[in-house]
Structure 1
């Protein structure tokens, strides 16, 4: 996204909690002739996000597109009542409070300018409905989809609040779609001490390689969505002022229709699926036994 914004003629401010990859990413952009800076930022700390906003203004004088994109992935294991409370706190603080901090720090700047855009990154896992089961039939984490459901609600609320002010500032929600080859799969490698696990793990933390292997074992070939495709999706959404920044119609759209039908019919949540896109109720047994 940073590279694509630069190619469109924008100046870019990158933020990351990790200094080394931030430096590498910033250098890659400047080597391409893009005017960019990197600011080490911890989105769980509001003062850190405030500092990011000040440094962006000090360097470039204005902010026009704010992407609340920081996220942490699934680190919990077992059923949700077995999840470590530290997993919940880490997921909520990064994925939900991080977005709130971004809104709190940057939206007043955009309102003063009378223009700008806020793009909040969501996921079909939670934004549409939670993925109920993992690739091998066991329960999928509840932490990540819960936070992404919150991001959608936050963005819908932001859209309404901005509309009420009559401003030209706009809100958008980004659904990247598919699998993305990013560091979110192995965010446990950089888990802050303040969110250190309080329970002993029963299984090894997953890596991107073993996630892919589990899918292949379950009979599903993993194809990653090119990050450039997502970046183009964002740029097009900004140009067309689209609230929903989504790719072309996909099988996951069916979950939205089934969920709406379930709500209207006051029925069972028969729209829930596993990570392979199969109906969650099709398997009679899981790692936890029969329902």
Structure 2
């Protein structure tokens, strides 16, 4: 999709951070944008920024964990613009502090999976039938995370939700290709980006929030003090810095142009930082040699 001018995009989780950056980068390329966020005021604020760039915009409050709300988002987008060419399933949440899998309650797994994984699935289910009917080049971007590329102890719920997005996106991409449907799918892997995602639990009912429940942090099980590099800018991401110290924290404004370029070039995968090739290769090697037979 080299020419983006006069296209229409829907971006979820676009009230700030990476989603805002993607929405504005698309608008700068001549795209009209439906700005979706669970916080409606934030969505409308970004929609106004899109309008200031000379493009049409619609701000919509949407909880992507609820299929009916995402279907309503699709209805509004098609009523306003008549088509959707680009869908960016970007909304996501995480929890602080990092915690062992056995200290992660069912409600924690459910909350993260409902937003991160089911949010992307709901976008797919609500938009793809109508995108197929358009019979013209379209593009879906699903936001994963570099944490699905390598192991991050204490981050099991988040990593699992992103790994689900990876597998689903790759299957959908091949299905579209085999069926001759002109919809491309990219998986976006952000690394260390300075957003408010670390404060996601502000969106949970107070009784469910980790600070209220005094969740045992993963660092209580480790003897190695977490590195402090970039921690002050990453909203409590300190434990992750032990395995991501190869990344320079990125301002979210840098993300949008990277994603837009990935859409233009029809990349299968888009990363915000150089991928950790050694960690990926180590996992691939162990998988390739995982059949040991019976001795």
Give the shorter-chain TM-score range: 0.7 to 0.9
The structure-2 alpha-carbon separation of the partners of 1:129 and 1:216, relative to structure 1 and needing over 3 Å to count, comes to: closer
Please list the CA deviations of residues 113-155 of structure 1 after superposition, one character each: whole Å capped at 9, or x if unmatched.
Answer: 11311100011102x12312xxxxxxx2211001111010010
2:55 alignment counterpart:
34
Q: How many residues align?
A: 257
Correspondence 1:234 to 2:259: yes
Report if aligned partners of 1:77, 1:83 keep a CA contact under 8 Å in 2.
no
Unaligned runs of 5+ in 2: 1-21, 218-230
Shift of 1:266: 2.5
Work out the CA distance in 2 between the residues paired with 1:117 and 1:232.
16
Q: CA RMSD of the aligned region, Å? A: 3.0
Name which of structure 1's ranges 33-42 and 20-29 shifts more when overlaid on structure 2.
Answer: 20-29
1:8 alignment counterpart:
29
Work out the CA distance in 2 between the residues paired with 1:129 and 1:217.
12
Correspondence 1:144 to 2:158: yes
1:211 alignment counterpart:
236
Correspondence 1:124 to 2:149: no
Work out the CA distance in 1 between the residues paired with 2:139 and 2:155.
31
Work out the CA distance in 2 between the residues paired with 1:13 and 1:155.
22
Correspondence 1:97 to 2:118: yes
Work out the CA distance in 2 between the residues paired with 1:198 and 1:150.
27
Unaligned runs of 5+ in 1: 133-139, 268-291
Work out the CA distance in 2 between the residues paired with 1:218 and 1:240.
30
Aligned counterpart for 2:185 among listed residues 171, 176, 200: 171
1:56 alignment counterpart:
77
Shift of 1:43: 0.5
Which secondary structure state, in structure 1, belongs to the residue aligned with residue 213 of structure 2? Answer: coil
The structure-2 alpha-carbon separation of the partners of 1:218 and 1:238, relative to structure 1 and needing over 3 Å to count, comes to: closer
Please list the CA deviations of residues 189-230 of structure 1 after superposition, one character each: whole Å capped at 9, or x if unmatched.
Answer: 1114796679822469x9956626778999969842132332
Report if aligned partners of 1:16, 1:40 keep a CA contact under 8 Å in 2.
yes
Shift of 1:109: 1.2
- Please give the TM-score of this superposition, normalised by the length of structure 2: 0.78
Shift of 1:27: 2.0
2:132 alignment counterpart:
111
- Please give the TM-score of this superposition, normalised by the length of structure 1: 0.79
Which secondary structure state, in structure 2, belongs to the residue aligned with residue 211 of structure 1? Answer: coil
Aligned counterpart for 2:193 among listed residues 180, 187, 192: 180
The structure-2 alpha-carbon separation of the partners of 1:239 and 1:85, relative to structure 1 and needing over 3 Å to count, comes to: same
1:254 alignment counterpart:
278
